[in-house]
């Protein structure tokens, strides 16, 4: 049986991706080295990484999530602030923050519950909404790290445009030497927001 590497995520509108591209360019303008930047078209908000999953489990999960998604209304989100995990002195992942109402955490808990119900191992880390811009290479020099730390302090993205989250998506991820290729397996629409 062939397993499928999969994850569930919120995709971003093109205008947000354009702003994220300009944020990456700010780092490059400060000659930041030792970072593998994410292709802008691949930047998304991961709600749940599933890893290698059987097609049967993905089919079952899709049915559960189709039913779950109708319990949630679309909501507004905002992309703001730049930072690093675990911190700017020892950066491993460069990110931009993702701000959304409490319904986002409720949605993530619901996805987690659905994943567990079909036997997918529980997520070990708590949910921390962020958009990964880049990952620090293992061979990054101490000078690269210092320069990156300085850039993190000086680059202010402020608050980028807000946007409406109307759906979330189940993706397949195929790893290739030139970077991952993501393809949509299923899309889950949220109810229209009540005004």
Banded model confidence at residue 155, pLDDT cuts 50, 70, 90: confident
Residue 178 tokens, joined: 């030139």
The rounded distance, in Å, linking the Cα atoms of 131 and 137 is 18
Residues ≥6 apart with Cβ < 8 Å to 170: 6, 7, 8, 58, 61, 62, 65, 184, 185, 186, 187, 188
- State the chain's mean pLDDT as an integer: 92
Residue 81 has pLDDT above 70, yes or no: yes
Residue 24 has pLDDT above 90, yes or no: yes
Does the global pTM surpass 0.85?
yes
Q: Does a cis peptide bond (omega within 30 degrees of 0) precede residue 86?
A: yes
Measured in whole angstroms, how far is the alpha carbon of residue 122 from the centre of its chain? Answer: 18
Residue 75 has pLDDT above 90, yes or no: yes
Give the mean pLDDT of 41-65: 96
Residue of 114 and 87 predicted with greater confidence: 114
């Amino acid at each position: 049986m062939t397993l499928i590497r999969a994850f569930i995520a919120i995709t971003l509108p093109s205008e947000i991706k354009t702003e994220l591209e300009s944020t990456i360019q700010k780092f490059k303008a400060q000659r930041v080295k030792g970072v593998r930047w994410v292709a802008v078209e691949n930047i998304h908000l991961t709600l749940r990484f599933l890893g290698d999953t059987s097609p049967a489990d993905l089919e079952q999960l899709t049915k559960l999530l189709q039913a779950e998604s109708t319990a949630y209304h679309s909501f507004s989100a905002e992309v703001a602030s730049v930072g690093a995990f675990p911190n700017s002195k020892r950066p491993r992942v460069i990110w931009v923050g993702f701000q959304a109402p409490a319904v986002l955490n409720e949605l993530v808990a619901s996805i987690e519950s659905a994943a567990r119900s079909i036997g997918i191992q529980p997520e070990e880390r708590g949910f921390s909404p962020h958009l990964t811009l880049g990952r620090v290479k293992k061979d990054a020099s101490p000078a690269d790290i210092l320069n990156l730390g300085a850039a993190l302090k000086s680059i202010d993205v402020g608050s980028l445009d807000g946007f409406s989250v109307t759906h979330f998506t189940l993706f397949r991820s195929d790893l290739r030497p030139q970077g991952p290729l993501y393809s949509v397996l299923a899309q889950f629409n949220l109810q229209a927001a009540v005004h």
